[in-house]
Amino acid sequence: MSVVQRAGAVQRAGVVRFSSRLHDERVASWLGIWLGVSFTIAFVTGLISHFMQHPPGWLMWPSRPVNLYRVTQGLHVIGGLATIPLLLAKLWTVYPKLLQRPPIRSVGHALERAFIFLLVGASLFQVVTGVLNIAYWYAFPFFFTTAHYWTAYILIGALLIHVANQWATTRHTVMKRPEDGLNRRAFLATVAAAGGAITVTTVGEAFPPLAQLAVLAPRRPGVGPQGLPVNRSAFAAGVTQANANDPAWRLRVTGRVQRELSLSLSDLRALPSRSVRLPIACVEGWSAGATWGGVRLRDLLHLAGVDPDARVQLVSMEVAGLYKTSWVSPRHWHDPLTLLALDVNGRPLDLDHGFPCRLIAPNRPGVNQTKWVHRMVVA
């Protein structure tokens, strides 16, 4: 039975009317296919982001290509936003099914419906929390990252079950030529255009040529001190001009080293300096390229005498915060592009960008580009 017939049946019973014929199996199928693709991309790119931030021991994430994380995370956030009109259109198309009578026809039917509720709930949860998070509106009582990560598995599990249940019907519906003259194309084109409009007005947060159009993006490349956006300011991190400028400030390298190092800012400035072009690619989707100047991390670690397979923890002067420390794997610190940066775009780092020094490494999430570094602990 098609949705239209079901809606009609409900109408005859006098419960509710559905005037649009677009509550239709064929529209639902096409939207379902697009959503399936889109959710799969979001799931895969989301896992990439998760495991780059919390690498299990066996995972040797490469430091190249330089822009890989920028692309995967841009796809995650911007693709996720573009999915919103698809999801809304799909829910609108199928909502007459919610009111179908009888609500449950068999045990199998009850289970199928239960999984659809799970699927819808998880989809809405992911989209709503994702949007609030990139808008820096932490309105929820739970920790976003953990909730968004685990709900992704619920969503993908319920999606797989739904795809298995719907495979035959969808295939059949999409393959056969409709003969009712209904203008589905115009509706689907409108939904696609809405997704396209969201993409065009946000993609500039990761793709500088379209930065001017990024009116819906919370951050834009080029906007911020030294032409770079700031996620967590020095003020928010509890780092002040006074403690960053303290003449007693030292960068200390400790742990499994042959020689402990304690370097003042002028000691760091006296070391061979390199210039690299690398992006900050925030987990929240925005990214911005900049020219960084500073000391290669591997030069510093060679000075201290560390094992080639050592891992290094960078510790920030930040008082408290989730991103106060980060780990750098051997692949990343051996990379000649990985710097302990002192300058950005030709000037000493702004306090908000991590003065006196911060990490900048290729293909690494922004949350792990630790600012205000004052200690390195080799493990």
Ligand X SMILES: Nc1nc2c(c(=O)[nH]1)N[C@H]1C(S)=C(S)[C@@H](COP(=O)(O)O)O[C@H]1N2
Interface residues toward Mo ion, by CB under 5 A: 231, 282, 366-367
Report which residue's Cβ sits closest to ligand X: 366
192 closest CA partner among 82, 78, 88, 32? 82
Q: How far is the CB of 369 from Mo ion (least distance, A)?
A: 8
Burial of residue 242 (CB within 10 Å: 0-12, 13-18, 19+) is exposed
Rounded-to-integer distance, Cα 356 and Cα 377, Å: 18
Q: Where are the alpha helices (DSSP H) in 95-239?
A: 107-134, 144-175, 184-200, 234-237
Q: How far is the CB of 221 from ligand X (least distance, A)?
A: 10
CA atoms within 13 A on the CB side of 170: 15
**Could you tell which of Mo ion, ligand X, none binds residue 21, using a CB distance below 5 to 8 A set by kind?**
none
Task: Convert 122-131 to b/e letters by CB count within 10 Å (16 or more is b).
Answer: bbebbbebbe
Nearer to Mo ion, 231 or 370 (CB): 231
**Could you tell which of Mo ion, ligand X, none binds residue 222, using a CB distance below 5 to 8 A set by kind?**
none
Rounded-to-integer distance, Cα 98 and Cα 111, Å: 14
**Could you tell which of ligand X, Mo ion, none binds residue 214, using a CB distance below 5 to 8 A set by kind?**
none
Contact present, 294 and 357 (Cβ < 8 Å): yes
Nearer to Mo ion, 37 or 135 (CB): 135
Q: How far is the CB of 226 from ligand X (least distance, A)?
A: 8
Q: How far is the CB of 365 from Mo ion (least distance, A)?
A: 7
Structure tokens at 37: 């693709």
Contact present, 235 and 358 (Cβ < 8 Å): no
Nearer to Mo ion, 282 or 357 (CB): 282
**Could you tell which of Mo ion, ligand X, none binds residue 173, using a CB distance below 5 to 8 A set by kind?**
none
Nearer to ligand X, 196 or 346 (CB): 346
Burial of residue 281 (CB within 10 Å: 0-12, 13-18, 19+) is buried
Burial of residue 351 (CB within 10 Å: 0-12, 13-18, 19+) is buried
Report which residue's Cβ sits closest to Mo ion: 282
Nearer to ligand X, 24 or 352 (CB): 352
**Could you tell which of Mo ion, ligand X, none binds residue 159, using a CB distance below 5 to 8 A set by kind?**
none
Q: How far is the CB of 286 from Mo ion (least distance, A)?
A: 8
**Could you tell which of ligand X, Mo ion, none binds residue 280, using a CB distance below 5 to 8 A set by kind?**
ligand X
Rounded-to-integer distance, Cα 23 and Cα 3, Å: 6
370 closest CA partner among 190, 188, 262, 239? 239
Nearer to ligand X, 331 or 375 (CB): 375
Nearer to ligand X, 71 or 124 (CB): 71
Q: How far is the CB of 364 from ligand X (least distance, A)?
A: 10
Q: How far is the CB of 359 from ligand X (least distance, A)?
A: 8
- Rounded to the nearest angstrom, the gap between the alpha carbon of residue 134 and the centroid of all alpha carbons in its chain is 9
Q: How far is the CB of 335 from ligand X (least distance, A)?
A: 18
Interacting residues toward ligand X by CB under 6 A: 228-232, 237, 280, 282, 316, 318, 321, 323-324, 353-354, 366-367, 369-372
Nearer to ligand X, 89 or 339 (CB): 339
**Could you tell which of Mo ion, ligand X, none binds residue 244, using a CB distance below 5 to 8 A set by kind?**
none
Structure tokens at 174: 């999409």
